[in-house]
Amino acid sequence: MAKFFYGDVARDHDNFYKKHVFADTPLYVKVKSHPGDKTDLMHKFRINKSVNDKNEASYSVINAATMRHTYDIFSSKFKLSNCCAHFEVTGKPEGLNKDGMKFEHKHTATYTPSNNGFETTQAFKFAAPEMGPAKVWTTCDFTYKNSGDKTIKPTMNIQASDDFHIGFKGEHDTKVLKSAEGQLAKTDKDIFMFLKGNMKKEVTLGGFWKQCDCLTHYAQFTYDLDKKTDGCCGQPITAQIGHGFKVNDSIKGKCMGFVGKDIVLKTSLEQKVDDKLTIIGSDTVNASAWWKDPSQAAYSFGIELDYHL
């Protein structure tokens, strides 16, 4: 868990359930290179799978090339794919990044030819110097689309002490508040716990516990106060439970269970072949459907290949 951070206080925990899980991506290939001290290149090829209500599968392909370059106080990124063009530039003025204070401004622009859509975002990050035991980290993103849609996304984290964090994040479209969430987290060397609630009246309690260098346990439970969620055993409760493990410096993985109306199991295994090639395999199965009728059980498998030139 990062000692200081921006954005969602529970993001490190949430990423465990998302990163290297390819339920809808049968094949993902990344080729990376580092032609200069300040320049990075990457090419991505991804096949996406989607299944409709009739259990019919369709596929799409994403092919993208990305170039990153770092200057003294600026960095830039340009991405060109078969669906859009994306550009961003980030600045960190020296005068505003000293004595414990941090400031960052990022400008992004995305153009999608298929619908002639243009989107631009101005993102700001600010961290105040320490004020006794407290430190404030805040962000604010302003997004504008040529369709006329506007969105504001603010976040704030207050590090109340070395162990406690209070957070907030929201989204407003300049007309109505679309989402809001309050968060409370406690961090430790091997334990992270959080409690959060949102405007949908959902309360989530979760965290992780690092038992040793080779094993970490994750869990979170969400209760719908409005009781609209059809969750576990007909109750408005859903849960996510997982375990991350490390066999050695070359092999690591994780297994997860998502419990709600159905029980969905996911696994991911990463094998570092050498300094250049890493292979990641992931699969997902609906255990509830398999128990009722194995022939109708939804199963998916994906593989990612990461190669460094």
CATH code (residue 121):
2.40.160.10
Give CA angle at 20 (139, 188), nearest 5°: 55
Residues 286/288/292/296 CA torsion (nearest 10 deg): -20
More confident residue, 277 or 192: 277
Q: Which of 255, 245, 241, 243 is nearest to 285 (CA)?
A: 255
Kindly state whether residue 196 falls inside one of the protein's structural domains: yes
CA atoms within 13 A on the CB side of 248: 4
CA distances from 59 to 25, 53, 247 (A): 9, 15, 34
CB 140 within 8 A of CB 127: no
Kindly state whether residue 2 falls inside one of the protein's structural domains: no
Percentage of the chain modeled with pLDDT above 70: 97
CB 251 within 8 A of CB 231: no
CA distances from 146 to 64, 120, 307 (A): 24, 9, 37
Q: What is the mean pLDDT of residues 25-34?
A: 94
Kindly state whether residue 280 falls inside one of the protein's structural domains: yes
pLDDT of residue 5: 64
Distance CA 108, CA 91 (A): 12
- Please give the model's pTM, rounded to 2 decimal places: 0.85
Domain that includes residue 208, residue range:
11-308
More confident residue, 73 or 133: 73
The least confident of 129-143, 166-180, 199-213 is 129-143
Both tokens of 131, joined, read 């004020």
Kindly state whether residue 5 falls inside one of the protein's structural domains: no
Kindly state whether residue 111 falls inside one of the protein's structural domains: yes
Instruction: Kindly tell me if the per-residue pLDDT of 51 is higher than 90.
Output: no
The least confident of 18-22, 172-176, 183-187, 303-307 is 18-22
Instruction: Kindly tell me if the per-residue pLDDT of 101 is higher than 60.
Output: yes
CB 293 within 8 A of CB 277: no
Distance CA 201, CA 227 (A): 9
For the chain, give the mean pLDDT: 90
pLDDT of residue 1: 43
CA atoms within 13 A on the CB side of 161: 5
Amino acid occupying residue 29: V
Kindly state whether residue 243 falls inside one of the protein's structural domains: yes
Distance CA 14, CA 8 (A): 9
Kindly state whether residue 4 falls inside one of the protein's structural domains: no
Q: In terms of DSSP H, where are the helices of the chain?
A: 11-16, 287-292
pLDDT of residue 77: 97
Q: What is the mean pLDDT of residues 190-200?
A: 91
Instruction: Kindly tell me if the per-residue pLDDT of 147 is higher than 80.
Output: yes
CA 18 from centre of chain: 7
Kindly state whether residue 6 falls inside one of the protein's structural domains: no
Number of domains in the chain: 1
pLDDT of residue 7: 66
